[in-house]
Structure 1
């Protein structure tokens, strides 16, 4: 008999979700669960009551055994009465909730039926507890249900879900059969590929965590995806979550799935695209009054999901847009729904690690049977740090306080924050201050503004200024609740303005928390070095698996040259001429396409201007990266390396879009120059990071400056040799490359 495991929440949402999207206050689901709110309600339970009780029961229908499961918020015992308590937090005013929301009540009915069956109860009570997230005000609805009625309701829900379950069952059978026959899509493994694939497979099998450094050009994407796919076919993995830092690495993962599909794989994979990019409307306003795709979205979403699953395997952005237009559903929320039911999800780090946009419905059994693959993992610490940091400025509050069309209450709240900022500014004796606590009166004013803004948003106010500040303040308040020694506060005067920023220096615990619960997780990159440093920053422990693979390429493929001059800030004006003369000579001698990397835009501009004084350069196609390039401009920059009939010279920035995830094999790129050692600019914030790690017995300067800088250097240099037949020249420009500290951080083939 076929067995289908199904969470009560998933079943209730599938059957009862309806209506339109209103994402003004965040999630597409109007109600959001909050762990702390749940815990506060549960603290009031009496002795003998149970909380977070796991429930599971089977229900057979048409030869399929549905295993319904979930975690009941509370099971209360009052005399001879048994009560299922379902807690929901909401940003809405409780006055708007006149009866239980059907989808919530349906979820509680599944739990109540399971309890009634287990305890042989003829009737059972359901208590719906709604908690207003700002005020913590509570509102309850209590109803009594007969076991026979609950069974009828659960059976009806399962009957509605059954066609989808059959579709998923048939898809899975085809998937597993195709995986059994699937062979590695290339004729043979590159050196190191088999070892990486085997280690990933063993990590999944043993439910572990792996940190793998695999050199550029080894084929990391297929070497991690292929063993994960094989594990899925053997029932070890239900879903593959492939988290990426950039669009380019997402495309590489899509190509790997396409390659396996051409080899016979029948597996569904959805690619996530940011809401602002995939939105069909000019502005991303998720309300039915503005957007016809938000209007009635949930009434049409089940049909849209069934349609695409019946007809498509690889659901790229273009495919999602095609079906979203056909069914008139929001393409972003459509892809989010698909991410829970496809065999693989390819998406930005946000969907796994950012508490604001991570896939909150992925929990419990689904997460425990999923594998997390984190590509270009060296990028994750900085990205995660930003996710758990927040900043707001004074000026927007002053501007909002002067908008006459807004209510007096919200204008007054904005004035109070502005006034609190002015008080901070008055006390500042220099342009900035670093501290570890938020000013008390300022934080109180910010919280009052948040409550007023939330009420305004729910009453239908749509002014962008209110919405933007609402989201910014909500993020900041969430960060203040996490604050400990891993955070610092940076307050800075900016002419007439003031900025307050809360910075997360060490996101490692948050990264570890997000990865916890997956069957296995694999963090991999070409520059996961030094391994102890990266493992620490990514929330690992020494007991976790580690793998460092040597380069598959020979030293003869790369001609490393060194120009030992100072690129330190104080010496740049003096040495820039010598650097550009050396670059010009290398370009004239080499004749191939070059990428020249600098540690900052300012330094790059200096180098570019000096280089242009060397010659007319009419025989060169010279490109320069800009700080705010569009996707089209980036594509044009890279296309020149493939199509130009002149020698292409590109000026770019280390750590930018052209320094990683860029593949220019063969003659497209045969020369790379790296100016400097990539150190971040010295500033009070980096020094705070240095002090933080120093206090933990680590080398603070290396953790704050040297290691992050050299990761950028290694990524930039990795653009040069991409295949076994590539060769080229690598020019390292900095005298520090001769010192032992930096020598030991260079790959063997660069020494």
Structure 2
């Protein structure tokens, strides 16, 4: 393995010189755009012969490692035989608050460029200039120093010396990692049926640099079958990092266990789990301000030691491990996990860290992406999550409240909020007879008012704290970001609810944006037990013509599962009428086959209605009920009640598509049967009908895209809770007459097709 360390000038100096605190008090949202604009404006003032955006690179050998350092300097200025390196920085605080002679990080960055240029051009001395420009006033402050080449050389070697402990640790780890990946054998005595096929498909996909859509049955061990070949690909030099993306905590734990299992077989690979900020925050309130939180105060002064410590001593950086090191070093556990994700070999996290434009891991450069593999678990969930990530909405109520809050307090915000509130009122009046309707486009006046509101709110938030204004500011900015994405994949619609009015930019088809956000990665593997029908998922998740497909048949025998269909109507208007028959059927089932059962309903109201009826006629049977907003501890308690070999029957009433219908592993006699009431179709609504119409207009079956496929996916997920291993047996009862119709039957797994009608 080469001892090369490729690193950008900026990354190198930030590692060594970045200091101070995390302080997420209000920050201007336009900083990046302003920064680019200001750079270009300053560069236009350069004289003939001066150069801008100059690529510079050098190689330096130090302590057995060869550093390849590169970057682009903002400006190269020539005057009277002297050369000046110009580093331009935009800032928002008043000019007189600019501390000292500029930031140590900025000086370090400019001096690195100065060294590279002076060395390459044999200059005995060179000038270094920091140009600070205020984003609003465009006022400037210049700091200029003269350095000799020998001074710069001493400085550069000091910087590299500061980075070397981390570089050596990473280099030595990678040597061990690659050897262990290469030598690793499958961490179980044998492959389950279908596992080798899936693992082989994933390995070939990564080797060929392609994408894969894989439908693999529940219970075969999809997590290890995707992670193991990805780890082997690292050993063969085909990848350098794995992102395991999932929507649920329970599937994150499964990925952590898979890595732990491979480590017990000799794997040396570090994996970090990113947990949402509000879940890991140590404080009562998630307020990242140095004067409130000791874990934010001085974070950058301590973070390098914390990273070195955890990487030296740990491979499995789970939430608990990160929290313990975060307390030890007094650093924010969430920011710590993000910083670790740039150093780790594998990252276990939610989909949004890759796909959501608002929260993605932004420091991932193209080179790192090219060597990274995305493993997208339970990929069927990414359809609605994708829609959610790329949509945005605004409510009249937000601006009415601000109007009230700022009356007599701040004229500027009061007026901006009043104008927006009035726009919503006139929209409501113009469409008095409609509750929901589509807008062809947003009028320019509204967009200008939103931009003005954003600017006004930004001014106020620099000096004042207002939670309601801050939230409105972020909502408006997010809305304006999504406005830029509007195209034929979007519908703009309005919904009136009593006095409130909502405007939503609804991403009906997330395929294009998911494809864009996934661009640049070596391979993407989308897998799920219910990725069916595959062409639908390939289409809606942004697949491409050259993608690979894999559909693995169930390894379980038909005799392991008894499928029954009870042809009753569970349609909304018939529910009251057929409720007694559902209760009788459940009683009959548990009398013939006592055991542990999960009963899934399409809505919580329906669940309660049948549950209450059941309790009236049967007080003896033990029952559990899923409640809204259950805590993690309550969920665990619910599942823990499903114990094997119990004398008494236990019925768990749960919601279809909810927390207990996916990613739940109740192996063996912990679960003896599943009853699914209804075909899982989303409720008929305006938004779903928009999806239907959109795909009908594209010559696709809109009803299938909007209702049938998402609904049946929930049914298959719920049924998939039952058979989790080769020795499991059990009963599935599907309650609805539509299960006997052809379009529903075509979506049932093959092993469910031998059913009995009861």
- TM-score (normalised: structure 2): 0.91
Contact kept in structure 1, 2:91 and 2:132, CA below 8 Å: no
Give me the whole-angstrom Cα distance separating, in 2, the residues matched to 1:594 and 1:69: 61
Contact kept in structure 1, 2:594 and 2:648, CA below 8 Å: no
Determine if the alignment matches structure 1 residue 334 to structure 2 residue 332.
Answer: no
Distance apart, 1:6 and its partner CA: 1.6
Structure 2 match to 1:269: 271
Structure 1 residues 229 and 335, CA, compared in 2 at 3 Å: closer, same or farther?
Answer: same
Distance apart, 1:287 and its partner CA: 0.3
**Cα shift readout 1:443-488 (whole Å, capped 9, x = no counterpart):** 33322222222223322x3332222222222211211121122222
Contact kept in structure 2, 1:92 and 1:458, CA below 8 Å: no
**Cα shift readout 1:200-243 (whole Å, capped 9, x = no counterpart):** 11111111111111110111100111111112223222211111
Deviates more, 1:151-160 or 1:112-121: 112-121
Determine if the alignment matches structure 1 residue 509 to structure 2 residue 505.
Answer: no
**Cα shift readout 1:141-172 (whole Å, capped 9, x = no counterpart):** 58576582554443322211011111112222
Give me the whole-angstrom Cα distance separating, in 2, the residues matched to 1:212 and 1:648: 35
Give me the whole-angstrom Cα distance separating, in 1, the residues matched to 2:743 and 2:138: 58
Deviates more, 1:437-446 or 1:167-176: 437-446
Structure 2 match to 1:564: 567
Contact kept in structure 1, 2:566 and 2:733, CA below 8 Å: yes
Equivalent residue in structure 2 for 1:590, among 593, 604, 608: 593
**Cα shift readout 1:538-567 (whole Å, capped 9, x = no counterpart):** 111121111111111111111011112222
Structure 2 match to 1:470: 473
Deviates more, 1:720-729 or 1:393-402: 393-402
SS at match of 1:287: coil
Contact kept in structure 2, 1:91 and 1:454, CA below 8 Å: no
Give me the whole-angstrom Cα distance separating, in 2, the residues matched to 1:268 and 1:624: 39
Structure 1 match to 2:418: 415
Structure 2 match to 1:446: 450
Give me the whole-angstrom Cα distance separating, in 1, the residues matched to 2:92 and 2:368: 27
Give me the whole-angstrom Cα distance separating, in 1, the residues matched to 2:529 and 2:499: 45
Deviates more, 1:115-124 or 1:708-717: 115-124
SS at match of 2:642: helix
SS at match of 2:550: strand
Structure 2 match to 1:154: 156
Q: What are the within-5 Å matches in structure 2 for residues 731-746 of structure 1?
A: 731-746=733-748
Distance apart, 1:709 and its partner CA: 1.2
Contact kept in structure 2, 1:177 and 1:233, CA below 8 Å: yes
Contact kept in structure 1, 2:200 and 2:229, CA below 8 Å: yes
Structure 2 match to 1:673: 675
Determine if the alignment matches structure 1 residue 479 to structure 2 residue 482.
Answer: yes
Give me the whole-angstrom Cα distance separating, in 2, the residues matched to 1:212 and 1:672: 25
Give me the whole-angstrom Cα distance separating, in 2, the residues matched to 1:542 and 1:94: 55
Structure 2 match to 1:527: 530
Contact kept in structure 2, 1:42 and 1:74, CA below 8 Å: no
**Cα shift readout 1:277-317 (whole Å, capped 9, x = no counterpart):** 00000000000111111111111111111111111111111
Contact kept in structure 2, 1:100 and 1:128, CA below 8 Å: no
Q: What are the within-5 Å matches in structure 2 for residues 483-494 of structure 1?
A: 483-494=486-497
Structure 1 match to 2:698: 696
Give me the whole-angstrom Cα distance separating, in 2, the residues matched to 1:199 and 1:518: 18
**Cα shift readout 1:574-611 (whole Å, capped 9, x = no counterpart):** 32322232222222222111111122222222322333
Distance apart, 1:412 and its partner CA: 3.3
Structure 1 residues 143 and 308, CA, compared in 2 at 3 Å: closer, same or farther?
Answer: same
**Cα shift readout 1:681-729 (whole Å, capped 9, x = no counterpart):** 1111111111222222211111111111111111111101000000100
SS at match of 2:405: coil
Equivalent residue in structure 2 for 1:581, among 579, 584, 590: 584
SS at match of 1:222: helix
Distance apart, 1:85 and its partner CA: 7.1
Give me the whole-angstrom Cα distance separating, in 2, the residues matched to 1:417 and 1:22: 31
Give me the whole-angstrom Cα distance separating, in 1, the residues matched to 2:11 and 2:214: 35
Give me the whole-angstrom Cα distance separating, in 1, the residues matched to 2:118 and 2:635: 61
Give me the whole-angstrom Cα distance separating, in 2, the residues matched to 1:569 and 1:740: 22
Structure 2 match to 1:19: 20
Equivalent residue in structure 1 for 2:169, among 158, 167, 170: 167
Give the number of the structure whose alpha-carbon radius of gyration is greater: 2
Structure 1 match to 2:361: 359
Structure 1 residues 490 and 82, CA, compared in 2 at 3 Å: closer, same or farther?
Answer: farther
Distance apart, 1:627 and its partner CA: 2.4
Distance apart, 1:78 and its partner CA: 7.6
SS at match of 1:402: helix
Structure 2 match to 1:544: 547
Q: What are the within-5 Å matches in structure 2 for residues 573-722 of structure 1?
A: 573-613=576-616, 615-618=617-620, 620-642=621-643, 646-722=648-724
Give the paired residue count.
742
Contact kept in structure 2, 1:4 and 1:67, CA below 8 Å: yes
Contact kept in structure 1, 2:217 and 2:528, CA below 8 Å: yes
Deviates more, 1:251-260 or 1:484-493: 484-493
